[in-house]
Amino acid sequence: MAKSSGKKGIIGILTGGGDVPGLNPAIRAVTIRALLEGYKVIGIRRGWAGLIEIIPDPAVDNGDNFQILTEDIVNRAGRTGGTFLHTSRMRPSHVPLAVVPPHLRDKYTEEINDLTPEVLRNLDFLGIDYLIPIGGDDTLSYAVRLFQEGFKVVGIPKTMDNDVPGTDYCIGFSTCITRTLEMTHSLRTSAGSHERFLVIEVFGRYAGFTALLPTMAGAASRCVIPEYKFDIDRLTELLVKDRFKNPSRYSVVLVSEGAMFKGGEMIFSDQETDAYGHKKLGGIGDVVSDQLKQRSAVFNNGTRINVINQRLGYLVRCGDPDAIDSIVPMAFGNLALDLVLRGVHGRLVILKNGKYDNAPLDVVTSKKKVVDISRYYNMERLRPTYTSFDAKPLFILE
């Protein structure tokens, strides 16, 4: 299997974590450029999962775990959303016994197993010289591990939360913001018709970019984000005042899924954790809505205000990419190939200060990227701080 029809070698590409619009354009960009430069391209299915499920035997059909990419294949998918290579939240360094592939269960018997040796063995079996993973900080943190093991890796950042350190932009963020604006404005008609509060829960586990930026752009009057534990009475008071000032008698708040009440913690839909130790978030919008309704009478002359409560969820990550999430993935893919052609690896392609660049791959594990509330969030008014935008990035929040 290690034999290559590519004159220069073989490039592998995979997508991990949540799907976002822009993944397929990135796969297309990498593939088209690589083929033109004389490489063969292999797409790994289901992210890191495909690399532990391969059976390194030429007699075995591994078609469920990888495919040879051609110009025709990537052109068909390149304008669409999602990822045709599929995705998973597999973390090869921390594989529970229950999900160890059947052919490896005699070898790996611990409750949690490090299957990195199998990943390296399968990369060698496929003859892959360079691997280009596209993902968020979780997916890319394992890419750092592979690089530390000596494998040649070039990462591409993607996540609608826009929270990968080292880059101002991650694939998927623009479409998420665009959809949030569109859907919030659409829901205003119902909120105004019924004179209610409108509570919209958006993505954002640790970082509030997906709530703060749409609010800054006029989607809402208030937002609550993970970086600041908010007082529900203060939020209620502000929304009642906003509603009273509005001729249509409604007000809007965007709620990050990781937002927390003062004195409280994150709200989870269940206690099960994924491979990276994250519990599934969901429900803060429901709790905020219930509390707003209960407390609103205190600030509204004894009369409760009803609530429209909507969780946007997968509606902002499905479907086709917008213009930015079509252009940036194209550029990121070509930047990755530029590095490969120069023999450079252990890097992350980035967009910084309005310019495309690259940074050390391990920047993704060096820190957390969150909203600087001292610069961008008014903690008293629970809304963005509007200051000079001079020399700020396209999406303002650094």
If asked whether residues 348 and 298 sit together in one domain, one would say no
389: confidence class by pLDDT, cuts 50, 70, 90: confident
- Asked if residue 290 and residue 184 are part of one domain, the reply reads yes
Sorted by sequence, the CB contacts under 8 Å of residue 96 that are 6+ apart come out as: 111, 112, 113, 275
Is 76 a domain residue?
A: yes
Co-location of 67 and 182 in the same domain: no
**C-alpha to C-alpha distances, 62 to 69, 95, 115, 170, nearest whole angstrom:** 15, 20, 18, 31
Average pLDDT, the chain: 94
Question: What is the reported pLDDT for 249?
Answer: 97
217 and 77, same structural domain?
A: no
Percent of the chain with pLDDT over 70: 95
Query: DSSP letters of 230-289?
Result: BPHHHHHHHHHHHHHHSTT--EEEEEETT--BTT----EEEEEE-TTSPEEE--HHHHHH
The whole-number pLDDT of residue 282 equals 65
Which pLDDT value is given to residue 322?
Answer: 96
Give the CATH number for residue 377.
3.40.50.460
Mean pLDDT of 226-246: 97
| Dihedral over Cα of 352, 356, 361, 364: its sign | positive
* Confidence at 394, pLDDT banded by 50, 70, 90: confident
In-domain check, residue 398: no
Q: CB count, 10 Å around CB of 298?
A: 13
pLDDT at 229: 97
Phi-psi region of 374 (alpha: psi -120 to 50; beta: other; left: phi over 0): alpha
| pLDDT of 278 higher than 80 | no
Full residue range of the structural domain in which residue 348 is found: 9-171+319-365
Task: Give the per-residue pLDDT at 273.
Answer: 57
218, part of any domain: yes
pLDDT band at 272 (very low <50, low <70, confident <90, very high): low
**Once rounded to an integer, what is the mean pLDDT over residues 295-301?**
97
Q: Which residue has the higher pLDDT, 3 or 69?
A: 69
Contact 383, 213 (CB under 8 A): no
* Mean pLDDT, residues 249-273 taken together: 84
pLDDT over 60 at 279, yes or no: no
Do 165 and 182 share a domain, yes or no?
Answer: no
* Statement to judge: residues 70 and 216 lie in one domain: no
Looking at the structure, do residues 189 and 83 belong to the same domain, yes or no?
no
Residue 3 lies in a domain: no
- Who contacts 106 (Cβ-Cβ below 8 Å, separation ≥6)? none
- Judgement on whether residues 260 and 119 belong to the same structural domain of the protein: no
Report the length, in residues, of the chain: 398
Shared domain check, 204 and 145: no
Average pLDDT over residues 125-153: 97
166 and 199, same domain (yes or no): no
Structure tokens at 264: 């409280």
The pLDDT value given to residue 270: 56
Which pLDDT value is given to residue 4? 55
The pLDDT tens digits for 7-27 are 789 999 999 999 999 999 999
Give the pLDDT mean for 42-63.
97
Lowest mean pLDDT among 74-83, 150-159, 185-194, 386-395: 386-395
Q: In this model, does residue 47 exceed pLDDT 70?
A: yes
Phi/psi of residue 281, nearest 5 degrees: -80, 160
Residue 392, in any domain of the structure: no
The answer as to whether 397 is a domain residue is no
- Statement to judge: residues 324 and 309 lie in one domain: no
164 and 181, same structural domain?
A: no
Average pLDDT for 360-370: 95
> Which residue in 161, 163, 168, 325 is the catalytic one?
161
Q: Which of 81-95, 280-294, 343-357 has the lowest mean pLDDT?
A: 280-294
Which pLDDT value is given to residue 1? 57
Could you tell me which residues come within 8 angstroms of residue 331 by beta carbon, excluding any fewer than 6 positions away?
29, 351, 356
161 is a catalytic site residue = yes
Is 396 part of any domain? no
Q: What is the mean pLDDT of residues 348-373?
A: 95
Q: How far apart (Å, rounded) are the C-alpha atoms in residues 383 and 129? A: 48
Q: What is the CATH number of the domain that holds 111?
A: 3.40.50.450
Q: How many domains does the chain have?
A: 2
Is residue 389 one of the residues assigned to a domain?
no
Express each pLDDT in 103-135 by its tens digit: 999 999 999 999 999 999 999 999 999 999 999
